[in-house]
């Protein structure tokens, strides 16, 4: 079993989730690659110090170049969006493989530049999106891929949050264009909504966007108020070509969706069958059948991700589990051992997501549907 040495740049919310996933790598049953977190870089002392409790971490640094000069094989980068391009290019320039965080650059030009550098470098590069690795999401993907739903009626792919309903929630870098990007919530939540549809080959040919800015300022944490200038909610009404027909596909990304704490969902409806899955009911898959009578069937799925684990088959999966599965997919694909399993977002898919979000901005500005390039 080869051991892959992993470094993290950005030890905040997501950097810690990666540390958690790698620290329980033994949960993966009969998995072909060993992974170990060995180095962490963060500008903030307190953020770095948290990683000291992980025995395999040998290097803690505030300078990402020091991390890149070490013997890490793979680097995961989880920093604010305005830093993606520079740091991802540095990782590739240092000859390391990269698991990038979404949105893979602050905007379309940044995403194109990262994708071009990834291609030129020959390094293995993928982008993070974990929810499709949940058992229910995998079943929805397989059902759609099997193509037995009849004529497709519509597709909804959504990711909803709700904590921004509270106007006293302090501002952070995700609420400001200079650090989050002009695409706002689409950059925060959009990659999660496109992963399965794009992997099924369902790339929108046109988009009409409804974008909303709801709170324009928030507490700055110092007794004052700070501007909050990013789009908060986005509904992208699109059309995709499937089997010679134009099918409506709606992508929803919302920071203000009442009572939805972190709800990822997908619904695919056809004339003969349908499937829906939501993390609101993490073990439940709904499938539609049209027989003599029409019915929705509810199935409890249990714990069966793409990569077998020691976890009991009847247990419920959650966020840390799909995050571990995503990492398993990343390192398996890197080792040429993904086989037929579902893989992480590719640089091409990430660029296509930015094409969609850039067109959505134009659609919002001009109040019309925008055609998208078909690649």
Ligand X SMILES: NC(=O)c1ccc[n+]([C@@H]2O[C@H](COP(=O)([O-])OP(=O)(O)OC[C@H]3O[C@@H](n4cnc5c(N)ncnc54)[C@H](O)[C@@H]3O)[C@@H](O)[C@H]2O)c1
Question: What is the smallest separation between the CB atom of 188 and ligand X, expressed in angstroms?
Answer: 6
Alpha carbon dihedral 345, 138, 265, 240, in 10-degree steps, equals 60
Closer Cβ to ligand X, 47 or 263, answer by number: 47
Helix/strand/coil for 238: strand
Residue 8 binds ligand X, judged by CB under 6 A: no
Residue 33 beta carbon to ligand X: minimum distance, rounded to whole angstroms: 21
- By the rule CB under 6 A, 181 interacts with ligand X: no
Report the residue number, 42 or 97, with the smaller CB distance to ligand X.
Answer: 42
x/- map, 65-104, ligand X, by CB under 6 A: -------------xxxx-x-----------------xx--
CA 43 to CA 337: how far, in whole Å? 35
Say whether 152 sits in a helix, a strand or coil.
strand
Residue 177's SS3 state is helix
Q: How far apart are CA 255 and CA 159, in angstroms?
A: 9
Please, which residue, 43 or 153, has the CB nearer to ligand X? 43
CB closer to ligand X, 64 vs 255: 64
**Residue entry with tokens 């939540």:** 189
Instruction: Answer yes or no whether residue 40 interacts with ligand X by CB under 6 A.
Output: no
Please report, for residues 13, 37, 56, 158, 228, the alpha-carbon distance to residue 46 in angstroms, rounded to integers and kept in the order given: 13, 18, 19, 35, 26
Q: Are strands 33-41 and 59-61 parallel, antiparallel or unpaired?
A: parallel
Nearer to ligand X, 88 or 288 (CB): 88
Phi, psi of 7, rounded to the nearest 5 degrees: -120, 150
Which residue number is nearest to ligand X in terms of Cβ?
Answer: 12
Q: Is 190 in the site for ligand X (CB under 6 A)?
A: no
Taking the complex as a whole, how short is the minimal distance between the CB of residue 47 and ligand X, in angstroms? Answer: 4
Q: Which two tokens stand for residue 255?
A: 């920071």
Residues in contact with ligand X, shown as a per-residue x/- string from 109 to 148 under the rule CB under 6 A: -------------------x-x------------------
Instruction: Return the range that interacts with ligand X (CB under 6 A); candidates 41-49, 199-207, 248-256, 285-293.
Output: 41-49
Q: CA-CA distance, 302 to 306, in Å (whole number)?
A: 13
Q: Rounded CA gap, 284 and 300, in Å?
A: 5
- 42 interacts with ligand X by CB under 6 A: yes
Strand-pair category, 245-254 with 263-270: unpaired
Among 44, 116, 314, 335, binds ligand X (CB under 6 A): 44
Binding residue (CB under 6 A) for ligand X from 9, 140, 185, 338: 9
Instruction: Using alpha carbons, select from 361, 356, 324 the residue that is nearest to residue 103.
Output: 356
Q: Which residues bind ligand X (CB under 6 A)?
A: 9-14, 41-44, 47, 64, 78-81, 83, 101-102, 128, 130, 188
């Amino acid at each position: 079993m080869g051991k892959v040495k992993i470094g993290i740049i950005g030890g905040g919310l997501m950097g810690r989730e990666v540390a958690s996933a790698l620290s329980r790598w033994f949960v993966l049953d009969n998995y072909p690659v060993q992974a170990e977190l060995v180095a962490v870089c963060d500008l903030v002392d307190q953020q770095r110090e948290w990683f000291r409790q992980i025995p395999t971490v040998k290097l803690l640094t505030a300078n990402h170049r020091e991390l890149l000069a070490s013997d890490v094989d793979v680097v995961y980068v989880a920093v604010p969006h305005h830093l993606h391009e520079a740091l991802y290019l540095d990782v590739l320039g240092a000859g390391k493989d990269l698991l990038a965080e979404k949105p893979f650059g602050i905007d379309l030009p940044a995403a194109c530049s990262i994708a071009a550098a990834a291609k030129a470098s020959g390094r293995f590069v993928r982008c993070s999106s974990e929810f499709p690795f949940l058992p229910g999401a995998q079943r929805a993907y397989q059902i759609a891929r099997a193509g037995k739903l009849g004529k497709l009626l519509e597709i909804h792919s959504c990711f909803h949050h709700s904590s921004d309903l509270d106007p006293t929630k302090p501002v952070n870098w995700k609420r400001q264009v200079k650090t989050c990007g002009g695409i706002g919530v689409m950059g925060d939540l959009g990659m999660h909504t496109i992963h399965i549809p794009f992997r099924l080959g369902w790339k929108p040919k046109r988009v009409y966007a409804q974008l909303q800015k709801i709170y324009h300022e928030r507490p700055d944490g110092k007794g004052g108020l700070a501007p909050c200038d990013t789009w908060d909610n986005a509904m992208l009404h699109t059309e995709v070509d499937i089997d010679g027909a134009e099918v409506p596909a709606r992508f929803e990304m919302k920071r203000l969706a009442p009572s939805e704490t972190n709800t990822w969902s997908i619904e695919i409806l056809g004339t003969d069958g349908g499937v829906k899955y939501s993390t609101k009911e993490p073990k439940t898959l709904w499938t539609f059948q049209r027989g003599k009578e029409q019915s929705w069937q509810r199935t409890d799925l249990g714990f069966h991700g793409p990569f077998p684990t020691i976890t009991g088959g009847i247990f419920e999966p959650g966020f840390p589990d799909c995050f571990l599965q995503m990492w398993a997919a990343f390192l398996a694909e890197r080792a040429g051992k993904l086989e037929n399993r579902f893989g992480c977002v590719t640089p091409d898919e990430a660029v296509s997501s930015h094409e969609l979000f850039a067109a959505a901005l134009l659609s919002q500005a001009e109040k019309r549907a925008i055609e998208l390039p078909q690649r």
